[in-house]
Structure 1
Amino acid sequence: MFGYAIRRVLSALPVVLIAVTACFFILRLAPGGPFDGERALPPETLANLRAHYNLDLPLIQQYGIYVGRLLQGDFGPSMVYNDFTVAQMLWIGLPFTLMLGFTAFVVGTVAGLVAGSLSAVNQNKLPDYVLVMLVMVGLVVPNFLMASILQLVFGVYLDWFPAGGWKPGSLQHLVLPVIVLALPHAGRTARLMRGSMIEVLGTNYVRTARSKGLGTRLILARHAIKPALLPVVSYLGPGLSYLLTGSLVVEQVFALPGIGKYFISAALNRDYGLVLGTTILYMLIILAVNLLVDILYAWLDPKVRYD
């Protein structure tokens, strides 16, 4: 298993390099620049700034300098936040983004597994129809619209939860953002779990267990849940990646101090270093999550072996 993990990491390096290269040149080719503010800078000041950040060099040479720094673990300086490097900015926002994403991941996964199992057990009955309808709501309504609706209803009209902002240690500020992030993830998990559970409940060994007089709960616990989880586990890696990237918009809507706040501001202000650093960080997180999912899949299915 350790050798497989090493091979996966090595095979992912070309993908990371291609993604970094594409993102680097797309950002540079986009109109505007980091110093195109409302107030025009004097030509001498602008020339000094461009020279300081190597923006006066040919594009290929800028790319070589950036990749060289990246290989040394240096994400470079921020072109908008003068007192911080990109690594410092990411270190400030990453803990909150991870906390928000993983909390929504746990809540959405548990809710999706429970809803999918209940829907499968009550197939073509009223609970099944109700749960499927709720699942579709979570899938159809986009994050930014759901966030605005929850802010208006529960934050303004009912005043049950804060409509935005963040107070350290206050769980109330996390309720609405976690719900917004968890809803689509719970919907996708529930659909996968429902279909997989229906298929497992129709297998011969489950029929045999029922013929021996075992109850539904015992059948689910001993025979159905583990094989039914296999399609869900395959989705958990991309699902967590979706939550972490989707949290960028949610953090902006709810004014939360995560990476999303800096990433969107950097994209608007053409802060090349911060945008690239955030992209690379998310790629590394996604690769790590997918590796963990592969290992978990092998644990759930004894037929899967990574030799």
Structure 2
Amino acid sequence: MLAYALRRVLSAIPVALIAVTACFFILRLAPGGPFDAERALPANILRNLRAAYDLDQPLIVQYFLYLGRLLQGDLGPSMVVQDFTVSQLLALGLPFSIMLGLTAFVIATAIGLLAGMVAAVTQNKWPDYVLVLVVMIGVIVPNFLMGSLLQLVFGVYLKWLPAGGWRAGSIAHLILPITVLAWPHAARISRLMRGSMIEVLGSNYVRTARAKGLGQRLVLARHAIKPALIPVVSYLGPGLSYLLTGSLIVEQIFGLPGIGKYFINAALNRDYGLVLGTVVLYMALILVLNLLVDLAYAWLDPKVRYR
């Protein structure tokens, strides 16, 4: 298992380098810059600012300078937010973003697994049809539209929940954002679980277990759930990555104090350091999560380790 994990880590290094390189050059080649404000700066001040952030160097030199600092764990300073480094800004917003994403992940995974099993057991009956309808709504409607609709209905018209903002310790301010994040994730998991469970329930060993007189609960618990989880587990890593990155937009919609507000403002203001730092952070999270999912997949299906 250790050798398998080491191979996965080594194979992720080129992917990470390609992602950082692509993001760096796309940002630098995009129109505009961090010091292009409505009021033009004097030439000497602009020249000094560009020199302070190495923007006066050739593009390839800037790339290797950034890569060298990145290898030392230095994400650099923010070019727009004064007196803050990128690491400090990410440290301010990351705990809230992780809390929001993990809460939505746990809730969505539990609901998705349960809904998928219920839909599989009641295949082609009314609970299956209702769950499929709810699932399709979660998959089709994008989170920014879903967030706006929930704000309008429950925050403005009904006034049951806060439409936005954040107050420390207030669970009510988290209900709508978590719902927006969790719904598509739960929908995808339930679809995967339903299809996998239907296939497992139709397998020979499950029919044999039923023929021996085992009840439905014992068949599900002993023979069906674990093999049915294999395709679901393969989605959990990308699914959690989706929740963490999708929370950027949701945080902006609901005015929450996560990384989202820093990332969106940095992208609009061409804050190269903060945008790159956010991309590097989420890329590292995605690679770690995918590694954990691969290890879990190898545990569920030992044949994977020997391929």
Q: What TM-score do the two structures reach when normalised by structure 1?
A: 0.98
Determine the C-alpha separation between the residues in 1 that align with 2:196 and 2:84: 49
In the alignment, residue 283 of structure 2 is paired with which amino acid? Answer: M
Deviations 1:140-193 (A, max 9, x none): 000000000111111111222111111111111111101100111111101100
Secondary structure of 1:169 counterpart: coil
Secondary structure of 2:174 counterpart: helix
Aligned length: 307
Secondary structure of 2:276 counterpart: helix
In the alignment, residue 302 of structure 1 is paired with which amino acid? Answer: P
Task: Report the equivalent of 2:110.
Answer: 110
Structure 2 residue 24 is the aligned partner of structure 1 residue 24:
yes
Alignment of 1:214-253 (within 5 A): 214-253=214-253
In the alignment, residue 280 of structure 1 is paired with which amino acid? Answer: V
How far has the Cα of 1:7 moved from its partner?
A: 2.3
Secondary structure of 2:304 counterpart: coil
How far has the Cα of 1:3 moved from its partner?
A: 2.4
Structure 2 residue 160 is the aligned partner of structure 1 residue 145:
no
Task: Report the equivalent of 1:63.
Answer: 63
How far has the Cα of 1:218 moved from its partner?
A: 1.6
Determine the C-alpha separation between the residues in 1 that align with 2:40 and 2:303: 65
Secondary structure of 2:219 counterpart: helix
Deviations 1:94-143 (A, max 9, x none): 11111111111111111111111000000001111000000000000000
In the alignment, residue 105 of structure 1 is paired with which amino acid? Answer: F
In the alignment, residue 114 of structure 2 is paired with which amino acid? Answer: V
Task: Report the equivalent of 2:6.
Answer: 6
Task: Report the equivalent of 2:34.
Answer: 34
Secondary structure of 2:305 counterpart: coil
Determine the C-alpha separation between the residues in 2 that align with 1:260 and 1:231: 30
Determine the C-alpha separation between the residues in 2 that align with 1:306 and 1:162: 52
Determine the C-alpha separation between the residues in 2 that align with 1:164 and 1:238: 27
Contact 2:4–2:305, Cα closer than 8 Å, also in 1: no
Task: Report the equivalent of 2:269.
Answer: 269
In the alignment, residue 55 of structure 1 is paired with which amino acid? Answer: L
Alignment of 1:1-307 (within 5 A): 1-305=1-305
Q: What is the percentage of aligned positions where both structures have the same residue?
A: 76
- Over 3 Å counting, the alpha-carbon distance change for 1:51 and 1:300 in structure 2 is same
Determine the C-alpha separation between the residues in 2 that align with 1:27 and 1:80: 15
Secondary structure of 2:101 counterpart: helix
Secondary structure of 2:218 counterpart: helix
CA RMSD of aligned residues (A): 1.1
For structure 2, the residue ranges without an aligned partner over 5 or more in a row are: none
Determine the C-alpha separation between the residues in 1 that align with 2:242 and 2:63: 29
Determine the C-alpha separation between the residues in 2 that align with 1:265 and 1:109: 31
Secondary structure of 2:19 counterpart: helix
Determine the C-alpha separation between the residues in 2 that align with 1:251 and 1:38: 27
Determine the C-alpha separation between the residues in 1 that align with 2:297 and 2:13: 23
Q: What TM-score do the two structures reach when normalised by structure 2?
A: 0.98
Which segments of structure 1 move beyond 4 Å, counting only runs of 4 or more?
A: none
Determine the C-alpha separation between the residues in 1 that align with 2:62 and 2:148: 41
In the alignment, residue 263 of structure 2 is paired with which amino acid? Answer: F
In the alignment, residue 256 of structure 2 is paired with which amino acid? Answer: L
For structure 1, the residue ranges without an aligned partner over 5 or more in a row are: none
